[in-house]
Chain A
Amino acid sequence: MDAFNGRIPAGIWGLSGALLVAALVLPFMLSPFQLRLAQQILLFGGMAVAWEMLGGFTNYWSFGHTAFFGLGAFGAGLLGQQLDPSLSVAVKLMIGMAFAIGLAFVAALAIAIPVLNLRGIYFAIAMLAFAEILAEITKTFDAFHGTSGFPLPALLVPGLTKVQLFYFLFLVLFLANIAVFVWLRRSRIGMGLTCIGQDEDTASMLGIPTERYKLIAFVLSAVLTAMGGVLYGYSLGFISTGSVFRIDISLNLILYTMLGGIGTVAGPIIGAALMIVLTQVVLGNLLDLHMMLTGAVLIAMVILAPKGLMGLARKVWDRRRGTAEGRP
Chain B
Amino acid sequence: MTILAIEGLTKQFKGLRAIQDLSFAVERKSITSIVGPNGAGKSTLFNMVSGYLKPTAGRILFENREITGKAPHLVCGMGIARAFQIAKPFPELSVEKNVLVAATFGRIGPRDPQATTERAIEVCRLTAWRHQPASALSIGNLRRLELARAIAARPTLLLADEPCAGLNETETREVIDVLSTIRESGVTVLLVEHDIKAVRRVSDRVIVIEAGRKIADGTASQVFSEQAVIDAYLGTAAP
Contact = CB atoms under 8 A, between A and B. Distances in A.
Contact of B95 (A195, A203, A326): A326
A328 B89 CA distance: 13
A206 interface: yes
A191 B92 contact: no
Interface string B126-150: 0000011111100000000000010
Nearest to A188: B104
Given A198-B90, A205-B52, A209-B73, A325 B131 contact: yes
A135 B41 CA distance: 51
A187 to B, nearest CB: 11
A198 B149 CA distance: 15
Is chain B's binding surface mostly helix, strand, loop or mixed? mixed
Select the residue from A4, A199, A326 with max chain B CB neighbours within 10 A: A326
Nearest to B154: A207
- Kindly state the interface size class of chain A when it binds its partner: 20 to 34
Given A3-B113, A4-B97, A191-B101, A207 B133 contact: no
A208 interface: yes
A199 B92 CA distance: 10
Contacts of A1: 104
Contact of B91 (A4, A198, A208): A198
Select the residue from A191, A205, A327 with max chain B CB neighbours within 10 A: A205
A326 B136 contact: yes
B85 to A, nearest CB: 13
B94 A325 contact: yes
Interface in A185-211: 188, 191-192, 194-195, 198-199, 201-210
B17 interface: no
A198 B92 contact: yes
Contacts of A325: 94, 131, 133
Contacts of B108: 207
A192 B105 contact: yes
B113 to A, nearest CB: 7
Given A4-B100, A199-B88, A202-B88, A207 B93 contact: no
Interface string A31-65: 00000000000000000000000000000000000
22 contacts: A1-B104, A4-B104, A192-B105, A195-B93, A198-B92, A202-B84, A205-B50, A205-B76, A206-B73, A206-B76, A206-B101, A206-B102, A206-B106, A207-B73, A207-B77, A209-B73, A325-B133, A326-B132, A326-B135, A327-B94, A328-B92, A328-B93
5 nearest CB pairs, A to B: A326-B133, A326-B94, A207-B105, A207-B76, A198-B90
Interface of B: 50, 52, 71-73, 76-77, 81-82, 84, 88-95, 97, 100-102, 104-108, 113-114, 117, 131-136, 149, 153
Interface of A: 1, 3-4, 188, 191-192, 194-195, 198-199, 201-210, 324-328
